Structure 1
Amino acid sequence: MTEQELGTLILTFGVFLCFVHVLGYLFERLRQPRLVGEIVAGILLGPFVLKKLAPQVSDFLFANPALGEDRTKVILGFIYWLGILLLMFISGSQVKRLLSKENRRETAWILGIGTPLPFLLVMGLGLAGIIPVGPLVGVQGVAISALLVLASAVAVTSIPVISRIFNDLGILHTRFASLILGSAVLEDIALWGVLAVATALTRQTSLAEQNIVGSTAQHLVITFAFMGAAILLMPHMLRVLGNARWNILLRASRLAYAIIILFAYVGLAAYLGVNLVFAAFLAGFGLAGGIAGGEREHYADALESISKFSYGIFIPVYFALVGYRLVFGRDFSPTMLVAFLLGSSLLSLISVGLAARLAGFRRLDILNLAITTNARGGPGIVLASVAFDAGIISAAFYTTLVLTAIITSQMAGLWLRYVLSRGWPLLSTDNDEAPEPLLPPLPSGQRLAGANASASVS
């Protein structure tokens, strides 16, 4: 690469960084999710805004003859994938003492009904032909994989976004937060496993395969074996490696050790044909000690450094590139967006509401749990990105999933801020003397300290 080529690439990357942080900051100041500003930055730099307003500038940044459009796409694609892998690695590492004893019964209800019910209903309606799957299918033409993504997109909950909302509102320490995050961790593990299966089916269901059934079955076995080993065995093995005296790399640099764990998981997953994003999540999950947690504090400084650098550079650019790839032309379907947003939200709210009711929660408790778990956020966007890259879903459905993830995250943040501002409890079991649901607000002096907190998310 010549100096001119390198300079052009750095300039393009710098423009992305500038736009994502300026737009992210402005949206945060407006009490909107930061990731929305980052995605909007990508839209402004994309073919539907910059390309139309200043085509010469767009060509210089993304199709410069000195660098070549193909090479630009490859390098930006590497940055895109690095951002998504770091995001999922950090998300997986956030598992820490989430499954407390007081929440096990309620978590079991949410996981037993709140997650599987919408997933199974969508799968059943899709297989019966009631849901038209055709417009959702991507270039690979595998309808069953697109249906699996559709069902997962209805049931997924955003761990990073919800964690950020809880932190901004000062409620991360509460039982409500512990219950939501504990359920979301186990739920997302299952749903990322479904995405890995959908990806495996897509890779193997092609005309070039000589033995489609046998090859697909082999890949599914490998995927489940990788998932089982990563969840059940690897946390213990990583704990043993972390305590080994001969582990010179760990003593030399905990940060480098954590990144190498990530690279090892991703490299092995690539070799085996397992979904890389799921592997990155499992790498962070294993490093944190698995479901039991307890290991994350040993890598706290390293993970904090990785998180700060990633959220400062690669993850915002990843979200900008998500916006850059959104389709608003002829392939965009407002009807699909409205139908999916309303249908998936209603199904998710009813399912989680039913689970919460069976778990013994009251009216406002049920509403708080249902609206919060409906936030798709980062995982919803990642799900869309991975499925679109694999050719599982169409461009129109990709745009629909991203916009739905943004809207549902905003809904959750606004609702929780409203509840706190009214002085209502998140869970009535935390305060038996709390006001009844939907009563007039308490005097301002009695409202919770988090009432005026910003619910911006990233």
Structure 2
Amino acid sequence: MSFVSTFTLSGLELTRFFFAMVLLLFTAHSFGFLFYEAKLPRVIGEIFGGLVLGPTLLGYVAPDTENWVFGAFPSEGQLISVISYIGLVLLMFISGFEIQRAFSKEDRKIATSFLVGATFVPFIIGMLVPYIYNFSAYSGPNGNMLSLAIIVGIGVSVTSIPVISKIFIDLKIMNTRFAKIVLAIATVEDVIQFAALAIATGVGASASTSLSLIGYTAFVTVAFFGAAMLGLPRLIRYTIRSRFDVLVKFHPSRYALFLCFLMVALASLLNVNIVFGAFLAGVAVGMMPEEVFALAKSQVKSISLAVFTPVYFAVVGLKLDLVHSFDILFFLGFLVFSTALKGGGALVVGRLIKQRRLPSLNLAIALNARGGPGIVLATVA
């Protein structure tokens, strides 16, 4: 087989692939719209659309039909997975745009207190859980317990910026001090989550855990973060001020996407999780003056949310088999435990810093919105 032939699909294979993609997009958007009309998050509808097409429903009722659509030829699943990963990368890229960077001294004090009590403490307790409760069934092919512990810690402590932002917009409280504090906490959590996830996936690639491996993985991740936050904004500013400014002035979307995929490629090369690279690229682009990348951010967000991100969430549902591989008791137990741990931490902090009970309760509820990052965590880990 020649090198060129590996890039070629037959007419029938292309037809079947695009049919599968159209079906995924149709069900994702259809159920997303229905859930939106029911005042529920659109993303849940997109995942539900994938569930309908996967082994949970179509594969259970008509397995031959499911295989005809999604197993038409050996590499069809890989092609769909590539489109899904592009959706994940773009989702993290546009999430980086939303990172909050300017806060008052008083807001920083409150946010820091809740960050410690409702994020760091639950994260540490969550990391201890796999060593107490038997999580061996969820430890992955290499059975690395440290990697699993980090994943569980992230799972019980993360807050979703996209989900909580949408809730604040719907409630018309996006510009309030309360919303700003919640988003400040969620911003720091997002950075910590993707850094920790990068370490977890790096460590999890090995069956054994050594101090040198942990140290190396942590060093590479932190160095990558530092280099990205220091170097990428400088690279963008240099391009804007140099004779190459035409790249940004006339093709801002192309330049932004180039930076995104450059960071993803570098992250993969360094064995750092690719979502971290995309997220940092989004943060760097978001740090630029609004007039520079405003149109680019809008265009990238539009195409991502219209095509690639719905496919990503639909594929999440497509991979789930809730008929044969869903432990309802474990699910309910983890849900109650993580909600109580994060919410309880927020209430305790509110009492310690003499916050009134209602604002503390509101923070406890708001910080329990996991959504997008939780789904990313589940699919990447």
TM-score in terms of structure 2 length: 0.93
* Correspondent of 2:89 among 85, 90, 106: 85
2:174 is aligned to: 172
* Aligned: 1:94 with 2:88: no
Q: Deviations over 1:429-458 (max 9, x none)?
A: xxxxxxxxxxxxxxxxxxxxxxxxxxxxxx
* Correspondent of 2:143 among 141, 144, 165: 141
2:20 is aligned to: 12
Structure 1 residues 157 and 325 mapped into 2: Cα distance closer, same or farther (>3 Å)?
A: same
> Aligned equivalents of 1:166 and 1:301: distance in 2?
24
> Aligned equivalents of 2:100 and 2:333: distance in 1?
36
> Aligned equivalents of 2:340 and 2:229: distance in 1?
32
Deviation at 1:219, TM superposition (A): 3.3
> Aligned equivalents of 1:237 and 1:267: distance in 2?
17
Deviation at 1:212, TM superposition (A): 6.2
Deviation at 1:44, TM superposition (A): 0.5
1:154 is aligned to: 156
Q: Deviations over 1:241-268 (max 9, x none)?
A: 3333433321230000100010110011
> Aligned equivalents of 1:93 and 1:243: distance in 2?
22
2:321 is aligned to: 327
* Aligned: 1:352 with 2:350: no
* Aligned: 1:3 with 2:5: no
Structure 1 residues 309 and 272 mapped into 2: Cα distance closer, same or farther (>3 Å)?
A: same
1:115 is aligned to: 119
> Aligned equivalents of 1:380 and 1:98: distance in 2?
26
Deviation at 1:172, TM superposition (A): 1.1
> Aligned equivalents of 1:296 and 1:157: distance in 2?
26
Deviation at 1:125, TM superposition (A): 4.3
* Correspondent of 2:79 among 75, 82, 99: 75
Q: Deviations over 1:109-144 (max 9, x none)?
A: 122222101011222344xx3232223212221111
* Correspondent of 1:33 among 41, 51, 56: 41
2:356 is aligned to: 362
Deviation at 1:98, TM superposition (A): 4.6
2:228 is aligned to: 230
2:57 is aligned to: 49
> Aligned equivalents of 2:69 and 2:319: distance in 1?
15
* Aligned: 1:384 with 2:375: no
Count of residue pairs brought into register by the alignment: 373
8 A contact 1:93–1:296 mirrored in 2: no
> Aligned equivalents of 2:184 and 2:213: distance in 1?
35
> Aligned equivalents of 1:278 and 1:165: distance in 2?
25
Structure 1 residues 297 and 101 mapped into 2: Cα distance closer, same or farther (>3 Å)?
A: farther
Aligned partner of 1:361: which letter?
Q
> Aligned equivalents of 1:216 and 1:354: distance in 2?
32
* Aligned: 1:308 with 2:302: yes
Structure 1 residues 204 and 134 mapped into 2: Cα distance closer, same or farther (>3 Å)?
A: closer
Calculate the aligned-residue CA RMSD, in Å: 1.9
Larger helix percent: 2
Structure 1 residues 215 and 183 mapped into 2: Cα distance closer, same or farther (>3 Å)?
A: closer
* Correspondent of 1:192 among 180, 191, 194: 194
**What percentage of aligned pairs have identical amino acids?**
37
Q: How does 1:375-454 map to 2 (within 5 A)?
A: 375-387=369-381
> Aligned equivalents of 2:39 and 2:169: distance in 1?
14
Gapped regions of structure 1 (runs ≥ 5): 388-458
> Aligned equivalents of 1:162 and 1:98: distance in 2?
19
TM-score in terms of structure 1 length: 0.78
> Aligned equivalents of 1:353 and 1:297: distance in 2?
41
> Aligned equivalents of 2:93 and 2:225: distance in 1?
15
